[in-house]
Every structure is written in structure tokens, then in C-alpha cells.
Structure 1
Amino acid sequence: MARFLAFVVLLIPILATAGGIKLIRDTLFSKLVSPFPFIWLQLLVGVILFLAGFLFLAGFLLNRDRKQGKVSPRFAKK
């Protein structure tokens, strides 16, 4: 059960990152998606979603590797 919950917690930022990539791609091809009135707003939301999901996953992996002692001394907690 704990592994399933961990999977669900990781699935949310993965979907947010994928949605951000889709919005960025649509902006680059000048395709305006319906909830956004401006193309620049669509790009901004896409970048924010992408960065939020990416940084959450990166922090999760760094925290896990710190617990297992698999990081270089530069990233180890002091």
C-alpha cells in the first residue's frame, strides 16, 4: 500500500510536467488552447507547470539519494 501511495504522489507532478510541455509546445506552434485568452499567458502557465513538476521530482530524488548516502559531498546535508 505504501508503494502505491508513493506512486500516486509521484504521478501528480509527472502529469503536471507533461501538461506544461504540451502547453509550451502548443505555444511554439501558435495554437491557443481554450482556457487561455492570450498566447503569452499559455506559455507562462506551461513554464510554471513544467518547472514545478520538474523541481518536485528533482527534490524527491535528491532527498531519497541523501537518505541512501548516494550523493557527492557537495550535495550531502551538513
Structure 2
Amino acid sequence: MQKVIALVILVIPVFLAGLGIKYMRDSVFGIVNDPFTLTVVQFIIGLVLTVVGVWFIGGYILHREQRQKRVQERFLERSRQLKDEEKRERDEL
């Protein structure tokens, strides 16, 4: 059941990124879709949807790889620093 939920969580950003690519493509060819009135607005919304979708998927993959300890050191440094700062703050209290 957990794998099905994880799959659904990943399908939604993939769908949004695909929709964003479609909006950008349509605005380049001058096709205005229903909720939009200007191709510029449609392109910007498409760009935002694409960036958010790819960002979410990339973050999910990075988080999964960090849990399995298959990530290079340069990606672990920031999270280690944040954990060390949290530990120091808890120790001070």
C-alpha cells in the first residue's frame, strides 16, 4: 500500500510537469488554451509548473538516495550541518 501511495505522489508532479511543457509548447505556436487569455501568461504558468514538477521529483529522488546512503559527500554536507546545528540548539536548552 505504501508503494502505491508513493507512486501516486510521484505521478502528480510528473503530470504537472507534462502539462507545463504542453502549455509552453502551445504558447510558442500561438495556441491559447481555455483558462488563459494571453500566450505570455500561459508560457509563464507552464514554466512554473515544469520547474515545480521537476524540482519535486528531484528532491524525492535525492531524499530516497540519502536514506539509502548512496549520495556523494557534497550533497550530504548541508544536511549534516543542519543536523549538527539542531543538536547544538537542543543541547543548549
Range of TM-score over shorter length: over 0.9
Q: State the Cα distance separating 1:28 from its structure 2 match.
A: 1.1
Give the aligned CA root-mean-square deviation in angstroms.
0.7
* Letter aligned with residue 51 of structure 1: V
Structure with the larger RCO, 1 or 2 (CA within 8 Å, 6+ apart): 1
Aligned residues: 78
Normalised by the length of structure 1, the TM-score is 0.96
**Runs of 5+ in structure 1 lacking a partner?**
none
Structure with greater helix share of residues:
2
**For 1:30 and 1:39, how far apart are their aligned partners in 2?**
7
Normalised by the length of structure 2, the TM-score is 0.81
Q: Percent identity?
A: 33
**For 2:42 and 2:16, how far apart are their aligned partners in 1?**
14
| Greater C-alpha Rg | 2
